[in-house]
Amino acid sequence: MSAEPDGPEDRLRRFATIWSRAVFPATSTSLTRPEFEELLLPLARRLSEALRARTYDAEEGRAVGAALVEAHCTEPEALSSALDCVDAYLVLYCGGDGHQEDLRARAARLQSAMAAGYAEALRQRTLTEQEAIARAALEAQGAVARALHATEARFRAVFEGAAIGIGIADLDGNILQVNGALLRMFGVTEQARLARCVTEWTHPEDAPQVWRLYEELVRAEREHYHTEKAFYRPDGTVLWTNLTVSLLRDADGNPQYQLALMEDTTERRLLNLRLRYEATHDALTGLPNRTLFFERLEKALAAGDGQRFGLCYLDLDGFKAINDSLGHAAGDRLLVEIADRLQSCATAPGEMVARLGGDEFVALTTGPDTESEVDDLADRIMNALVTPVRIDGRELLVRGSIGIVEGPAGERGPAEVLRSADITMYRAKSAGGNRYEVADAEADARAITRHGLTTALPAALDRGEFFIEYQPLVHLGDGTVRGAEALVRWLHPQHGVLGPDRFIPLAERTGLIVPLGRWVLEQSVRQAREWQQRHGGRGPLRVNVNLSPCQLTHPGLVQDTVEILERAGLEPDALCLEVTESALIGADDDLLKPLRRLAEMGIDIALDDFGTGYSNLANLRRLPVRVLKLDRSFTQGMQQFPADPVDLKIVEGIVSLAHSLDLAVTVEGVETGAQAEQLRILGCDTAQGWYYARPGPPERLHELALVDATG
């Protein structure tokens, strides 16, 4: 035996073998099983190719379904066993190395198409058969008139032997005769168990036109009609049929009887319902899936005037952690429990809950009053999550973030609404989770440009779209310019000048901050060197450069900085690196080592935005820091006059502590002369703010420095 793994052709053949074994017993073919397998092989190939084709083509599935009818796979069980087999083995044997979930979804759609193609082909065949029978019946009736016994006998034979149900009634609806097939469909053995009159055969699901067509027929205004109709069997169950009713006339052309031909479609209908259910529901939780949700949302958004919709987009907080730590089985059980709870939150008419995938769920409410209803819905969902979920004897606390979108029908499409909900959900998440946020167009637009900006960032550095502005640092004692902080900006081709708050967080997330930060450092160091050369001996002009937390942990930091300083010929003590307080909270010695090395070389380290984090003041001693930059919020407290006494006390305390640790204090955001004076009295060393100058081009600093040197 060969140890070679099967090739695709072998696998296809195996699928065809299994398929033929499953379906063969339910055929009325005259072929042998191996012959039948040969017949299925091209169909299997067709399915296999359709499964992996780049785009889905329902026609392929329908053609295979029709071919099954052609091959006499028409016994009641045939279609379901063919589909079961496709369901179980197609992806397995013909999926190749495609993405499993996509393949399964594709296979499900192919099955639906097969069922549809099968039903259509069968209907066509039955119609042809029915026509033949109707012709025979007509001939027989004519023959009765002429008392030709032979034809009558032939009709009897067709009547009794037919696989489809046949019934004859007079034009008042009195049922005269039914055949064995019809009795079997109704689950009875004798005609007496059936209704006596056709008009008793009503069913709540009768199409509105059914009884109108009937009336027209018995009034001889039409020769026949065809419809899909349900009947109650005597045992109360429902029988679905394809029904054709024809008018029979006598030899002189006078209407005399009605002939009903019915084909049992109950099985097929159930199967279609099942397929439809599977294609539109999530297998794990049983909730409607993305497909069904989109259909419903589309309908809600297309509703008429005065109709509104409200949508809650829920994502569980920290679900990945649960999955990773307790395993997928536990994660699945959690999702099932959550799905049940959500389901009970949306039970009113017009409400629905669906699972979009993973730990993402949506709840939809529709109608005229969704403005208030959607908030209630979100509250109910949040409440439903409050009780911990018990899994494996553990109590799991589940939280979620919800994005709410609400609005009138007729304005937006489903994709746009869902995107807005998704963005809003992320807003709730980044605000800490366990909350809901309501969508607003402005926040959406910001988030969308954020996405655009992230993708444009790398090229922007190559294209030289960044530039640096410098904001002077002024000595509070004598008012001289001592240096400047470098603040980076992005001249975006579409959005104009963007401040660092717009793109630094994105650069940090994508890692671009490292090359960008290095570029800023290079430029600023070169600029500082130029100032010094221009300024001659009148005191060194220093430059402050901001460092991101990611840059701190980058292994090249010390090396890069040394090289940059050497290349520009700038002394290390003309450089100050600003690190935010939050980046150093809880920093261990490993993180502090590069900073310490830089400090040892003579570079100043400043603790930026001091007072916004919660660092322990006693901790300051551990840090290789020379300067505290007091956050703008302290300065703001001094804007009114008299200044807030508590703020004054705090600043005074910080300054005296800093000085006792030999740290200099710089204040940010000085906007008025009164503030500057106040801060000077409190003992701050340097200041920065609009009162002195806004950030600007490097030449401006040169002028400013000259002005105070002469003034």
Which residues of this protein are in contact with Mg ion, per CB under 5 A?
A: 546, 578, 608-609, 668
Among residues 501, 588, 590, 699, the one that binds ligand C2E under rule CB under 6 A: 501
Among residues 669, 682, 687, 704, the one that binds ligand C2E under rule CB under 6 A: 669
- Residue 517 binds which entry of Mg ion, ligand C2E, none, CB below 5-8 Å type-dependent: ligand C2E
Tokens of 552: 């701190």
Rounded to a whole number of angstroms, the minimum distance from the CB of residue 285 to ligand C2E is: 44
SS3 146: coil
Candidates 5-13, 317-325, 533-541, 684-692 — which segment interacts with ligand C2E by CB under 6 A? 684-692
Q: Return the number of other C-beta atoms located less than 10 Å from residue 572's C-beta.
A: 16
| 649 vs 43: CA distance, rounded Å | 86
- Residue 548 binds which entry of ligand C2E, Mg ion, none, CB below 5-8 Å type-dependent: ligand C2E
With binding defined as CB under 6 A, does residue 609 bind ligand C2E?
A: yes
Comparing C-alpha atoms, which of 336, 265, 8 is closest to residue 116?
265
Rounded to a whole number of angstroms, the minimum distance from the CB of residue 574 to ligand C2E is: 17
Rounded to a whole number of angstroms, the minimum distance from the CB of residue 634 to Mg ion is: 11
Task: State which of positions 620-649 bind ligand C2E (CB under 6 A).
Answer: 632
* Nearer CB in complex with Mg ion: 389/520: 520
In angstroms, what CA-CA distances link 2 with 11, 16, 215, 620?
Answer: 15, 21, 71, 73
DSSP 26: G
With binding defined as CB under 6 A, does residue 488 bind ligand C2E?
A: yes
| 397 vs 409: CA distance, rounded Å | 36
| 156 vs 138: CA distance, rounded Å | 12
With binding defined as CB under 6 A, does residue 686 bind ligand C2E?
A: no
| 285 vs 399: CA distance, rounded Å | 19
- Residue 420 binds which entry of Mg ion, ligand C2E, none, CB below 5-8 Å type-dependent: none
330-332-333-336 Cα dihedral, nearest 10 degrees: 160
* Nearer CB in complex with Mg ion: 455/633: 633
Rounded to a whole number of angstroms, the minimum distance from the CB of residue 548 to Mg ion is: 11
| 66 vs 61: CA distance, rounded Å | 9
Quote the Cα angle for 361-364-367, to 5°. Answer: 175
Task: State which of positions 544-583 bind ligand C2E (CB under 6 A).
Answer: 546-548, 578
* Nearer CB in complex with Mg ion: 85/514: 514
- Residue 437 binds which entry of Mg ion, ligand C2E, none, CB below 5-8 Å type-dependent: none
Number of residues near ligand C2E (by CB under 6 A): 24
Among residues 520, 579, 684, 704, the one that binds ligand C2E under rule CB under 6 A: 520
Comparing C-alpha atoms, which of 312, 337, 346, 340 is closest to residue 435?
312
With binding defined as CB under 6 A, does residue 487 bind ligand C2E?
A: yes
The size of the chain, in residues, is 711
With binding defined as CB under 6 A, does residue 505 bind ligand C2E?
A: no
Among residues 306, 499, 556, 569, the one that binds ligand C2E under rule CB under 6 A: 499
| 234 vs 293: CA distance, rounded Å | 38
SS3 97: coil
Which position has the token pair 């002469």?
710
Rounded to a whole number of angstroms, the minimum distance from the CB of residue 694 to ligand C2E is: 7
SS3 267: helix
CA 45 to chain centre: 33
**Closest residue to bound Mg ion by CB:** 578
With binding defined as CB under 6 A, does residue 698 bind ligand C2E?
A: no
* Nearer CB in complex with ligand C2E: 233/502: 502
Pairing of strands 165-170, 496-498: unpaired
Task: State which of positions 455-484 bind ligand C2E (CB under 6 A).
Answer: 471
Rounded to a whole number of angstroms, the minimum distance from the CB of residue 325 to ligand C2E is: 34
Candidates 14-22, 144-152, 325-333, 497-505 — which segment interacts with ligand C2E by CB under 6 A? 497-505
* Nearer CB in complex with ligand C2E: 248/583: 583
Angle at which helix 513-535 crosses helix 441-462, to 10 degrees, equals 70
686-688-689-692 Cα dihedral, nearest 10 degrees: 70
SS3 27: coil
Rounded to a whole number of angstroms, the minimum distance from the CB of residue 675 to ligand C2E is: 9
Per CB under 6 A, residues contacting ligand C2E are 471, 487-488, 499-501, 504, 517, 520, 546-548, 578, 608-609, 632, 668-671, 688-690, 695
